[in-house]
Amino acid sequence: MNRSTDNANRLHTGLSMPSSTLAAGILGSVLCWLALPPLAWSYLAWIAPIPWLLLVQKETLVGARPYRELWIAGLVYWLLAVHWIRLPYPLNYLGWVLLAGYLGVYLPVFVVLSRQAVHRWRIPIVLAAPVVWTGLDWVRGHLFTGFLMGSLAHTQYRNPAVIQIADFAGEYGVTFLISFTAACITRGLCGWRQNRSGQGIAVILTGAALLTGCYWYGQMRSGSGAQGGTHSVDTRVALIQGNTLADWKSDPERQQQIMEEYVRLSLDAVRYSRDHEHRTVDLIVWPETAFRETLISVAEGYTPPPELLPPSRLTAAQDYLKLLVKELGAAVLVGIDRVEIIPSTGEEIEYRTFNSSVLVDKKGKITNTYDKMHLVPFGEFMPLARWFPFLYQVTPITGGAEPGQAPSAMQVEGVTYSTNICYESAVPHLIRRQVCELVERTGRAPDALVNLTNDAWFWGSSELDMHLACGVFRAVETRTPLLIAANGGLSAHVDSWGKIISVSQRQHPEYLTADLNIPRRKGKYPSPYVASGDWFVGLCVLCCLVLAITAVTERMTNVEIPNDESMTKHE
């Protein structure tokens, strides 16, 4: 491209920016990453996408392979954002690069679809860009089991007034708001530099008006008026956080040490609450798989041969749990490995394993179990291993877990809890669907969500903050308090407006106590989002699909997009 063409592009965009597509792409990536933990400069999120939006606005993208350069920029962002993927196991370095490589594709797709809307369909960038961005976030949250961490919305998880619109549009609504604001700033500044100051001011004022309206709604919902929308219940929950380093190896002595640490912390919580605050702890929560004795159940009418499974082994977990609640004087909800034994052909036994939680009442009776429904690939199961079992021989995963089939409503002292495990709290549609199903099945929404997780795999990294951010949005979306018990941190109490009431230190053994405030609910469902689902982002996805179909059709028929040499010549 010659200098005169480049100067024309600068006049069209109206803003000075890096002359290289790669440089502009990486600038946007770095700004977006700075808005996320660990630095969490959340204010940057409102302007971070501008370099990418300027690429959408340009008449022609610079470079022989501009979309390849944008993929590299996307790769850089995700390598920075999810660097913690590499920490649990050496082989995870490969997974880190592969995941970042896949997620990096979304940036060039965003630019190409947005350019299709802006340059082909003449749709204003202030509408095209946020619609495409939000629609692609939905795709990212569903494709290949879904991965929605690192979204623009998550940069605002400590700004409750901004995120309250998630109660009717989900976290996708907050993503739309941020990208819309950035697009308004981009278009407004372009208009100003093109001597169209009136148009530029009008666009910026439009963005400011929407942001102000959403902020006012958030203040109204999360401010003083919101407190009148709850009622306290005489229920205290103790969240127990050990700091056991995650390890693939199974060492009986180490398992016993883990149990002893959690029992000690639980006793400390009960005694301090009783002796210093004159409160009784009603429920004690341990994190994912913190209870190290496997809960074993057998098919009805079947008794395993004693030589394969001694009777004492069959009831070991139940016996330990009875002793535990007797010593603590409180109900316990623990993360546990659960195994179902099913008779097979001959003398063989079939084992089905689950990542589960189990509730034991004060009398020592198991009243509810929940089996994790959304399993993590490469962590809890190996894709394709059913057809290629040898894959389990080349990874530290000992066997594939089975997914659970339904949520569980767990009752303690008149309060209903709904448990989810690990990264399930990072999946908006899963938690919404669980709450919906409980409403339909029991006639009422749960009073509190409980997330049990083991984040010690990530060594106190920014993963802990990003996981907490997901939980904050689930609380707002469902208008339901969230309790998090996390091995290694971060354990937390989040109210139904997304305010973090208390949070633990990372990589430090401790306990948190939470006294619940339960929202007063007038309708059947706790929020419009739970009632209606992803209707808003669904419209964005539909627009993305139309843009993608038209772009592919035009490419196949060699129809050029006006003023876009890069899409017709270079790609």
Residue 341, token pair as written in the block? 């034994």
159: which DSSP letter?
Answer: -
How confident is the model at residue 397, as a pLDDT? 47
Q: Is the peptide bond before 113 cis (omega within 30 degrees of 0)?
A: no
Full-prediction pTM beyond 0.85?
yes
Q: What is the pLDDT of residues 458-517, one digit of tens each?
A: 999 999 999 999 999 999 999 999 999 999 989 999 999 999 999 999 999 999 999 998
- Is 232 a residue whose pLDDT tops 60? yes
Structural class in CATH, domain 231-519:
alpha beta
DSSP 279: -
- 163: confidence class by pLDDT, cuts 50, 70, 90: very high
Taking CA atoms, 111 is separated from 53, 426, 487, 560, in Å, by 8, 26, 40, 17
| H-only helix segments in 329-418 | none
What is the b/e burial string over 176-200, where b = at least 16 CB atoms within 10 angstroms of the residue's CB?
Answer: bbbbbbbbbbbbbbbbbbeeeeeeb
Q: What distance in Å separates the CA atoms of residue 307 and residue 417, rounded to the nearest whole number?
A: 39
Edge-to-edge strand order for the sheet containing 448-454? 409-412, 415-421, 448-454, 482-487, 492-494, 500-503
**pLDDT recorded at residue 302:** 75
Q: Which residues contact 90 (CB under 8 A, 6 or more apart)?
A: none
Residue pLDDT, tens place only, 514-545: 999 888 888 899 999 999 999 999 999 999 99
Instruction: Delimit the domains of the chain by residue range.
Output: 3-225+532-570, 231-519
Q: pLDDT value at position 137?
A: 97
Taking the C-alpha atoms of residue 302 and residue 310, their distance in angstroms, rounded to an integer, is 14
Reduced 3-state DSSP string for 500-525: EEEECCCCCCEEEEEEEEEECCCCCC
pLDDT in tens, 363-382: 999 999 999 999 887 666 55
Answer whether residue 194 shows pLDDT above 70.
no
Higher pLDDT, 483 or 403: 483
pLDDT in tens, 60-76: 898 889 999 999 999 99
DSSP string, 433-459: HHHHHHHHHHSS--SEEEEEEE-GGGT
What confidence tier does 10 reach under pLDDT thresholds 50, 70, 90?
Answer: very low
Rounded Cα–Cα distance for residues 496 and 475 (Å): 5
**Tens-digit pLDDT profile for residues 264-308:** 999 999 999 999 999 999 999 999 999 999 999 887 777 777 777
Q: What is the arithmetic mean of pLDDT over 310-318?
A: 85
Q: Is pLDDT at 246 greater than 80 in this prediction?
A: no
